[in-house]
Amino acid sequence: MKDISSFKLFYYFILLNIFLCIVVAAEDPQVILNGTSVYVKAGETFDFEQDYSLHVKYVNPESERVWVSLSLNGESVADSILGRGEVFTYSSNSSPVFNITMDRIYYGSSGELVTFDPVYQYVDQRYPYNPDDEKMQNKVQNTSDNESQNQRVPFLNPTLLVLFALLLPYVYEHR
């Protein structure tokens, strides 16, 4: 009798783990850009997926600070003034969409060039996203395929846990 109760406890433990893996996987944001470098000239705009764009409005050479504006479909949704190493974040419905670090400013005869590194963009669940869109793949060359996909630990795959939970009673009865 003791074996049956410990078996049931173990079985319920497996089912709880399956449930938790499904919940965690559902809340894990899908990564579009994973630590990519982005270069934007002062006064110009960089277009991201899902119709977001980052505009460098002004560069202050004395303080080495940059005024940036994030837009969605041409309408400003957030702006910030960043110094070297400072991070600009934007969330939608409590889910991260952008995490952008201002890296440095390069000065030249044709104007200022601002580098943002690293840049992370996550899928905004309110808008459609097609990961096979060639427009973005051609635009950002330094993002590899395995960089932009979620990296999961294989043994936490809910499908494997469900299979294990379904086979467990059969194995127990035929031991």
Would you give the DSSP letter of residue 29?
P
> Is residue 159 classed exposed, middle or buried when 0-12, 13-18 and 19+ CB atoms within 10 A define those classes?
exposed
Q: Is 153 exposed, middle or buried (0-12, 13-18, 19+ CB in 10 A)?
A: exposed
| Ranges in the chain, pLDDT < 70 | 1-11, 13-29, 133-168, 170-172, 174-175
- The token pair at 107 is 């000065």
pLDDT of residue 128: 85
pLDDT at 24: 52
- The residue among 15, 19, 12, 29 whose CA lies nearest residue 152 is 29
Q: Which tokens sit at 21?
A: 């893996």
Rounded to 5 degrees, what are φ and ψ at 78?
-165, 150
Residue 127 is predicted with a pLDDT of 87
Cα angle at 164 between 166 and 23, to 5 degrees?
95
Encoded tokens for 34: 């994973």
As given in the structure block, the two tokens for residue 117 are 């590194």
* Collapsed DSSP state (helix, strand, coil) of residue 162: helix
Q: Which CATH class is domain 31-139?
A: mainly beta
Domain boundaries defined on the chain: 2-27+154-173, 31-139
pLDDT single digits (tens) 96-141: 999 999 999 999 999 999 999 999 999 998 888 887 765 555 454 4
